[in-house]
Amino acid sequence: MPTETDIITGDRKTDRGFQTPEVWAKITGKAIYGIDLKLPGMLYGKILRSPHPHARIMGVDLEQARRMPGVRAALAGDELSCKPFGMVYKDELPLAIDRVRYIGDEVAAVAAIDEKIALKALEAINVDYELLPAVFDTEEAMAPGAPQLHDQHPGNLAWQRELTRGNPEAAFKTADLVVEGSFSVPQVHAAYLEPICCVADYDPYGGLTLHTAVQSPDIVRELVADVLDLPVSKVRIIGPVMGGGFGGRVYGNLKVYIISSLLAIRCGRPVRMQLTRQEEFIAGRPMIAAKIRAKLALNQDGTILARAVDLITDNGAYSAQAPWVSKTLSERNDSVYRIPNIRTTVRLVCTNKVPTGQYRAYGNQVGNFAMESLLDMAAKKLGLDPLELRLKNCVKKGEVTVHGLRINSCALSDCLQAAADEIGWHKRKPGRGYGISAAIHAGGSLVFDKNMRGASAYARLEYDGRVTLFSGEQDYGQGTHATFILIAARALGIEPDQIIIYSRDTLTSPFSIGALAMRQTTIGGKAIQLAAEKLREKIAQTAAEMLGEPVVMEGGRVRSATGKTLELSEIAADYRFQTSGLSITGEGKYVPSESAYDDTGYGNIAVAYSFAAHTAEVEVDRETGEVKIIRIVAAHDSGRILNLISARGQVYGGVTQGLGYSCQEGYLFDGGRVLNDSLADYRIPTALDVPDIMPIFIEQDDPEGPFGAKGLGEIVMVPVLGAVANAVADALGIRVTDLPITAERVYQAIVEWECEQ
Amino acid sequence: MQKEQICFTLNGETIEVYTDPTISLLRLLRDELGLTGTKEGCGEGECGACTVILDGMAVNSCLVPAGKAKNRSVLTIESLAKGDKYHPLQEAFVEKGAVQCGFCSPGMIMSAYALLQESSEPTSIEIRTAISGNLCRCSGYKQIEEAVLSAAEKLKNRGESG
Ligand code: FES
Ligand code: FES
């Protein structure tokens, strides 16, 4: 049985568990999610998608669909005048105009009085296609004469990067040992349980309102306004409760928001559009697939000298954030260890497949799989213990990594030691395999937008003495809001149940970049802390004026030097009368100091860095290839843990997602067609797939994060992939280098190995 | 399809609806009766978010035609709390941190409810088997398992079942 005790070091009090009252709405069925929303007069929108991976559109005939009873609008791309859009490249249109580039590309859309009629109307649309040659493999796509996807990407190269730090060539020449490997990882889907849904509502006076849950509503708002050519102030996003995100819903599905808006504007009625699970798979935005060739140079004593990576990532038909994901994938792992020399090449290649997006940890986990596999290959050749090899090279507090990350707090070696001790690294059971893996993740990325690095928040004292927080940071179940309330409670010296938080409306919430880049606790939480401190100061000031003597605020009330007390409600009431109705508010703005990174991307890219080491214990059946994960120990340095109950939840959930990534998930294609486009065929872990998972938190305060805290939500899945791969290799003596490590793959590897012997 | 009169017991109350019997029970509950506590994660019987109890059995309501409810008893998540008194399963889900996004929670709780009707002292593996048709992408199931164990304990101490 798993033990309950998470090892926590450090002397500060950790809150064992706090949740926002919203949890009661969730477990009684009262919480309103995106799919639950209905507005009066609401129409149902549906999208007609391309059945071809690459084709020219010769014509779209909407007449028959438009004439059907119950159909209120039918749209095709050529009659819209929308600007192309995209996060990195403007390579997408709401509806295709002359060309479709993957099976699932949006071609036409309808709105009807019910879903059935909308689906019938799609059948009545005639599209005349002229098929074009398509390309599905990244290497073939780069070859001369390959079909080209975008004029702006000659040779199908959507992005490339060449990077050298130090002198890798010399290091590889003089090293005692060079290990090399090729690794591959397929597209995976974030598979949030609630499909994306949006209700778009337009009126010429108020503008456009989108009722939809996204991780970055403010960014989506600006993008939608830009594409539809509306003033930003006329676009409002109101978020219902969100049924999971995990990075897959950072921008949600922009096409859905834009197309439902276009239909709502056309019809003058609200339009609801919900993706089917199949649409989620074929036209949602899975994490990019990667082929990695990597090598590592070491000295006999295990000192790492250099690392080289040649990465090819599969962009699919459109780019979204694929260049940024590719960059993180290619280099974040370099900062786990002291590696002085680096050589990296990245090619992001367009293919006629599903466009890609991002997923929790932004590619860091994929790089981890390759890097940590290589380390174990090296340890084996050098006759070193994989744990010792890692302890010898891992970064420490006070160091600056090869890419310029400034490590101001770091308990990585403690994490390695704790994860190893807990799994029984030196007391191995016979017949089992053991693997270890380490990770760093940027907590609070500063590079998303150089000008918008921080976060802001307001705290308002209500007339009844309670406090409301306004934040732009979204909570889709990861516990951010509970953590924010705890931070504010600490700063104000009041009980958490006296505080509520509101974040779901772009009209009232301060601007935020969104729930991404593991920035919420570190950056968003810091803004909350500052807002609460400001509010505390203003409350004290008002009270001091009321009493005419200096005061302190403690235990939820204010006390003067002579022992007079005031309740917060009394202070709020006085302020209201003095100001004819205003409330005392505190504004918090956290502006991290300028991140100085150069054109090569060298520099400090985040406010703080979180660390983790995971160990895996597995059993492999040599007859069938079946891998049984017995146990995962997940040791984390996320600074001080502010809310243990949700921190544990993040570890269990994130490790489970990592196990899915390692052993069972991944897109299967036939040409450009996704074969496993349902939850029956794309299998995410069930309750029976999950082993014993043991979270360990090594608490050391970070100097910058709120009350010493750092981010946790993304790094939880990073080391899983490497730890599992290494444990399987340890059990078998044979290494599987392609994810997922399924029974078939393992069996295949065993057969191949036996043939070679 | 022709609409017809269907009479059944919903959350302890006998009701009569006039509906197309071929639509799913999930659609009937959500779209026509306004009970949106039961969720739809796939509509294909693969996620368990739509789990309700039909004559004591946990079923995926997206796969059950509405007509099949005729003269039978349906329990949804909306029935569990009595006024402001939550069901021990609901209390335990909150206490153990078993709810993250919460989208799977109604279905998960209904599956656990059916289990606790059958067995008052379920083992971990029985719990995991009972909820194996309920996908949760957030939690890793650990705290859900803890919650069901704790709810079973609470019910036993109160001398109740379900
Ligand atoms: S909605 Fe019924 S099983 Fe997914
Ligand atoms: S809590 Fe989100 S799917 Fe289970």
Residues A254-304 have pLDDT tens digits of 999 999 999 999 999 999 999 999 999 999 999 999 999 999 999 999 999
Question: Using 50, 70 and 90 to split pLDDT, how confident is the model at B62?
Answer: very high
Residues 28-67 of B with CB under 8 A from A: 30, 35-44, 46-47, 49
- Which H or E element spans position A633? strand A627-637
**Would you state the pLDDT for residue A8?**
52
What residues of chain B lie within 8 A of the CB of A475, using their CB? Answer: none
**Would you state the pLDDT for residue A5?**
42
Interface membership of A29 toward B (CB under 8 Å)? yes
A270: preceding bond cis by omega (within 30 degrees): no
What residues of chain A lie within 8 A of the CB of B144, using their CB? Answer: 687
Percentage of residues of chain A with pLDDT beyond 70: 97
ipTM exceeding 0.90, yes/no: yes
**Å between B46 CA and nearest CA of chain A:** 6
**DSSP code, position A89:** S
Contact (CB, 8 A) for A60 and A127: yes
**Å between A31 CA and nearest CA of chain B:** 8
Flag whether pLDDT at B44 surpasses 50: yes
**Å between A659 CA and nearest CA of chain B:** 10
Could you please report the per-residue DSSP string of B61-94? TTTSBGGGGTTSEEE-GGGTSBTTB--HHHHHHH
Q: Which two tokens stand for residue A101?
A: 């580039």
Flag whether pLDDT at A239 surpasses 80: yes
Q: Within 13 A of A692's CA, how many CA atoms are on the CB side?
A: 14
Q: CA A692 to CA A315: how far, in whole Å? A: 35
What residues of chain B lie within 8 A of the CB of A678, using their CB? Answer: 42, 44, 46
- How deeply is A184 buried, as exposed, middle or buried, from its count of CB atoms within 10 A (0-12, 13-18, 19+)? middle
**Would you state the pLDDT for residue B160?**
59
Residues A731-740 have pLDDT tens digits of 999 999 999 9
Interface membership of A120 toward B (CB under 8 Å)? no
Flag whether pLDDT at A3 surpasses 50: no
Q: Which two tokens stand for residue A37?
A: 């929303």
Nearest CA in chain A to B86: A28
The size of the A-B interface in CB pairs under 8 A is: 172
Asked if residue B140 has its Cβ within 6 Å of ligand 2, the reply is no
Question: Using 50, 70 and 90 to split pLDDT, how confident is the model at B1?
Answer: low
> How would you classify the pairing of strands A99-100 and A341-350?
unpaired
Question: Comparing C-alpha atoms, which of A724, A281, A38, A148 is closest to residue B44?
Answer: A281
Residues A34-87 have pLDDT tens digits of 999 999 999 999 999 999 999 999 999 999 999 999 999 999 999 998 889 998
Q: CA A544 to CA A393: how far, in whole Å? A: 56
Flag whether pLDDT at A515 surpasses 80: no
Question: How far does the centroid of ligand 2 lie from the alpha carbon of residue B96, in Å?
Answer: 14
**Rg of chain B on CA atoms, in Å:** 16
Mean per-residue pLDDT of chain A: 94
The shortest CB-CB distance from B100 to any of A478, A679, A687 is to A478
Average pLDDT over residues A16-34: 93
**Would you state the pLDDT for residue A46?**
98
Q: CA A383 to CA A391: how far, in whole Å? A: 15
Q: Whose CA is nearest to atom 3 of ligand 1?
A: B45
Q: Which domains does chain B have, with CATH numbers?
A: 4-78 (3.10.20.30), 88-158 (1.10.150.120)
Residues A94-108 have pLDDT tens digits of 999 999 999 999 999
Asked if residue B41 has its Cβ within 6 Å of ligand 2, the reply is no
Flag whether pLDDT at B108 surpasses 70: yes
Q: CA A119 to CA A70: how far, in whole Å? A: 11
Contact (CB, 8 A) for A182 and A737: yes
The predicted model scores a pTM of 0.96
**Would you state the pLDDT for residue A7?**
52
Residues A181-206 have pLDDT tens digits of 999 999 999 999 999 999 999 998 88
Best mutation target among B27, B42, B111, B137 (most A Cβ atoms within 10 Å) is B137
Start-to-end CA distance of chain B, whole Å, equals 38
Name residue A108's beta-bridge partners. Answer: A48, A76
Q: CA A738 to CA A373: how far, in whole Å? A: 11
**Mutational test site, ligand 1, from B39, B50, B111, max ligand atoms within 8 Å of CB:** B50
The CA–CA distances, whole Å, from A201 to A38, A507, A548 equal: 11, 15, 52
Interface membership of B76 toward A (CB under 8 Å)? yes
**Would you state the pLDDT for residue B83?**
84
Interface membership of A478 toward B (CB under 8 Å)? yes
**DSSP code, position A103:** T
Residues A473-503 have pLDDT tens digits of 898 888 899 999 999 999 999 999 999 999 9
Q: CA A74 to CA A72: how far, in whole Å? A: 7
- How deeply is A586 buried, as exposed, middle or buried, from its count of CB atoms within 10 A (0-12, 13-18, 19+)? buried
3 state DSSP class of B15: strand
Asked if residue B70 has its Cβ within 6 Å of ligand 2, the reply is no
Flag whether pLDDT at A1 surpasses 60: no
Q: Which domains does chain A have, with CATH numbers?
A: 34-132+195-242+249-283 (3.90.1170.50), 289-448+597-756 (3.30.365.10), 455-590 (3.30.365.10)
Q: CA A111 to CA A88: how far, in whole Å? A: 30
Question: Comparing C-alpha atoms, which of A622, A553, A50 is closest to residue A283?
Answer: A50
Q: CA B89 to CA B110: how far, in whole Å? A: 9
Flag whether pLDDT at A555 surpasses 90: no
Percentage of residues of chain A with pLDDT beyond 90: 86
Residues 78-117 of B with CB under 8 A from A: 78, 80-81, 86, 90, 93-97, 99-106, 109
Residues A308-334 have pLDDT tens digits of 999 999 999 999 899 999 999 999 999
**Would you state the pLDDT for residue B158?**
83
CB spacing of B101 vs A194 below 8 angstroms: yes
Asked if residue B103 has its Cβ within 6 Å of ligand 2, the reply is yes
- Residue A553 sits at the vertex; the CA angle it makes with A549 and A554, to the nearest 5 degrees, is 135
Best mutation target among B100, B124, B129 (most A Cβ atoms within 10 Å) is B100
3 state DSSP class of A271: strand
Mean per-residue pLDDT of chain B: 96
What residues of chain B lie within 8 A of the CB of A474, using their CB? Answer: none
Flag whether pLDDT at A707 surpasses 50: yes
Backbone φ and ψ of A398, nearest 5°: 95, -10
Give the number of the atom of ligand 1 that is nearest the alpha carbon of residue A277: 4
Interface membership of A191 toward B (CB under 8 Å)? yes
Interface membership of A119 toward B (CB under 8 Å)? no
Nearest CA in chain A to B123: A1
Question: Comparing C-alpha atoms, which of A220, A180, A178, A179 is closest to residue A200?
Answer: A220
Interface membership of A121 toward B (CB under 8 Å)? no
Question: How far does the centroid of ligand 1 lie from the alpha carbon of residue B48, in Å?
Answer: 5
* No. of helices (H) and no. of strands (E), chain A: 18, 29
Q: Which two tokens stand for residue A611?
A: 């660390």
**Would you state the pLDDT for residue A14?**
56
Q: CA A461 to CA A459: how far, in whole Å? A: 7
Torsion of CA A96, A102, A106, A108, to 10 degrees: 70
The shortest CB-CB distance from A649 to any of B78, B97, B145 is to B97
Give the number of the atom of ligand 1 that is nearest the alpha carbon of residue B40: 1
**Would you state the pLDDT for residue A10?**
44
Question: Using 50, 70 and 90 to split pLDDT, how confident is the model at A11?
Answer: very low
**Would you state the pLDDT for residue A2?**
34
What residues of chain B lie within 8 A of the CB of A641, using their CB? Answer: none
CB spacing of A678 vs B138 below 8 angstroms: no
Nearest ligand, CA of residue B135? 2
